[in-house]
Structure 1
Amino acid sequence: MNKPQYKLVALVVAVALASGGGGYWLARQGLADHPAATTAAGATEDVRKVLYWYDPMVPNQHFDKPGKSPFMDMQLVPKYADEGGAEAGVKIDPGVTQNLGIRLATVESGTLAEPIDAPANVMFNEREVAIVQARSAGFVQRVYARAPGDVVPAGAPIADLLVPEWAGAQQEYLAMLKTGDKALANAARERLRLTGMPESLIKRVEQTGVPHSVVTISAPIGGVIQELDVRSGMTVSMGMTLARINGLGSVWLEAAIPEAQAGRVRTGQPLEARLTAYPGEAFKGKVVAVLPQTNADSRTLRVRIELPNRDGRLKPGMFAEVSLAAGTGKPAIVVPSEAIIRTGTRVVVLLAADGGHYQPVEVQIGQESGGKTVVLKGLEAGQKVVASGQFLIDSEASLKGVVARLTGNTAAPVDASTAPPPPKTAALHQASGKVESIKAGEITISHGPVVSLGWGAMTMTFKLAKPELAAGLKPGDSVAFGFSQSDGDFVVQQLGKTGGGQ
């Protein structure tokens, strides 16, 4: 037995004795697995049927007779018929469950209704836009003191235009009024209106009896001047745009919703917005549009939200955080997210059965929110799953072979010529710790002692065998992991989140 293996065996014995379970483990392997217990004089015949022998470190390799493992310095362990097949999982006495820190959770049927929080920017409401144009050709006599960015009320003057064409038409209309012929007068008045003359100017001509060829162009709505393309002395043509005014009675928020949550957003959905400019104050609005295109760079969906802005406090360009009360609306099977184990290729949970049996079950998961995850396939409501201590159960299954060796369960070694050659894969070392940082292809973990290598607690950076192993993890998460050494690098092969802190 080499030094690391001796340390591992010594640690197992110390833990078992400290928890008062040393006799239990020895009895479990020496008596429960062998009803005819070994005595000082020798061993009686085991009446239980043995299916095959195996090495707990390489459980997929089966042997037809007992002996020493060709992979590790330990005896092969029998697999009995009444223990079930490989799918039977692992059995732990209920009295030891608490010592291992195992916590169970019930699979529930319910709905997830957790708010969606997303960043947003305040924008102009593009539906409140007024374009100021010249209705007839003329000359700019005066431009009032306006500039782009100015906020003006409705009716505020912008420029005075001289329209020579209107002077002759007004004189003709006044002449028709003097004749007393209503039909001709009405026709002349209609001509004034068709030339683009505003109704207010026509009434002014009627009241004063003199022509007015200069018209004041004013803002049709209150808001901010976005464009101002008029200068004193310039010539304007009919239909030329002089100014563009954007109303401020309401504003838009454009929020970036993650693509994974886009299906939970709908038009008309109420929400709250909070702005850094007004801490502690919430602005209520609703979703007016879900834009049809996703941002390819950030994988977010643009959602347009409308907020009233009667006091003008919301100004375009401000930053906001929006919160939408969104849910699936359909009943689903949900489990605590901490019960989910992602191996990189599969997603599994440990299903708890009667009598302390634990069995891994592959599941298909859906939406995750508020610490709960929807399970689309693999579980039913009412079942019990392990929410904390999954990797301790996995370690317990691996330690069975060590405890069996301590009971003196020996047998004649198998013929080396018939034993398969040892696998060429590197040894896997188990540890637990806390994630410090995650980068591309690497993860930094503050881990506890690694018994198989004789290491103490330290913080070090590991390479990831697959980048998806770190999916769903963030700095501060407690994890259990297995790693191997390859070409001088330490590579994480197994990685999963645990429920407890380090």
Structure 2
Amino acid sequence: MHLLCAVLFFLSHATGCTKGEAPAPDAKAEARTPKTEATTAVATREAKPAPSSPAAAGPKLCQHGVPAELCTQCSPELSEVFKEKGDWCSSHNLPESHCFKCNPNLTFASTQGPEAGEAHAPVPQEAWCGEHGVPEAKCTKCKPQLIAKFIEAGDYCREHGYPESVCPYCHPELVKAAGQQPPEFPEPGTLVRLASVDIERKAGIQTQRAEAQSFAQTLEVVGQLDFNQNRLAQLSARAEALIAEVKVDVGDVVKAGQPLAVLTSAGVGETQAQLSASKARLETARAALAREEALAQRGISPLKEVQEAKSALAAAEAEYQAALAGLSAAGASAGSTGGRYVLGAPFAGTVVLRDAVAGRTASAGQTLIAVADLTTMWALLEVPEESATLVKPGQKVALRFEGQGGHLREATVSRVAATVDPASRTVRVRVDLPNPDASLKAGLFLRASIQVSGEKEALLLPREAIQEAQGRHLVFVRSGEGVYQPVPVEVGAAQGNRVPVLQGLSAGAEVVTTGAFLLKTEILKDSIGAGCVDD
């Protein structure tokens, strides 16, 4: 309520308001955690003298340069009050009376200042700690005695060691709004020293030399094997039929045209009868045409009779071809009778499915036998939609089959789907795999590594060597016995268990691998409340 009244007072009198200064911190808060003899590692850095904060003149200004109690960026709930009073800059989403872009000469003067009509002196903005990127009065790095005060007030970021309300890592927008730079991390000169080589050995710290190696960016995905759908035949009854005989079983290798099953169908029997009748009519029409042509040559039969005989022959041939096509569509041959017909293999391959049992009735369209050419298989990979644009036909792929003891095969991308699966949000990618020994089985689970970039040189380090702190990637370089320096680096996408270092590290540096996390905790001790030792 007091805050709302302050806003209304400001809008009525067009002057700032003052805010009382915080009381001086308790002397007890200045005490720090004493060191113990058990300490084996410390992070050292130069100590910075605490600069004095200038006395405030006029209204208390926030980091945005406006009266702290009226700032709509610090207190968004005040925006509606300014809008109701018609004091709002829609272009910059600020009160018009606070907008420095629309009013470059805008200042806020003390309500205790000159009389009306006299010039107002500009009010100095809150001093800023350029090294740590927070207001000087709230810098717990320069004034560690303030830590207890902010912890008691519930305004302390234990992860980064600053007041939560102005933490430059949690709220980088505040630093930017104040025209400052975020603090550098780790601070220049930071080192981690172990008390002795024996402690270094007991801590299990291991290092390796950073060496330039060739690598290519890869994309790790999963998938499974399937039959080559272009060489897979699913044989079925065209109409309801009785399975009279099954001649093959799963795993049998068959030749093109080899009989696989014998079926009996009333519909096929009817088509066979139509074929026999149309064949008889065709023979009769051919004989009638020959007779009419002979009579016409002797002048006995008119030419009209010859033309009619030719038309009858053409109709009989069409009827016969139609009946023949009907049998062929049903899988029956022209010589079969009694409604019996044979399902034959369309090409050489292996029987991979059998759902046919003698004496059972098969419905139309039911797959009874499937034949596949196993000389090639398809690896179907599921690529996340956000990475799908990186994958293109012709890229190299390394495939590892979990069911074959991690057996590795290399191939190339054949096809990339044009749609995203709505359920899994993945794009299907196909890889054609030669399978001359038929050792690959459909349904086999696999992991694939797709090379999505050309090869280049970079320093490759194990994942465990790369640590992340304060939003930056770090490695620890051994500069002497028990002495380690945290070095900020820029890294690329991980390649399996290795991470490429793009900038910040020189070849030949001795980098900590095992134990890097332990060293990271040492340089973060001041952030998590354990304290650190300053030389």
- If you compute each CA radius of gyration, which structure gives the higher value, 1 or 2? 2
Could you tell me the TM-score, scaled by structure 1's length? 0.46
Higher strand share: 1
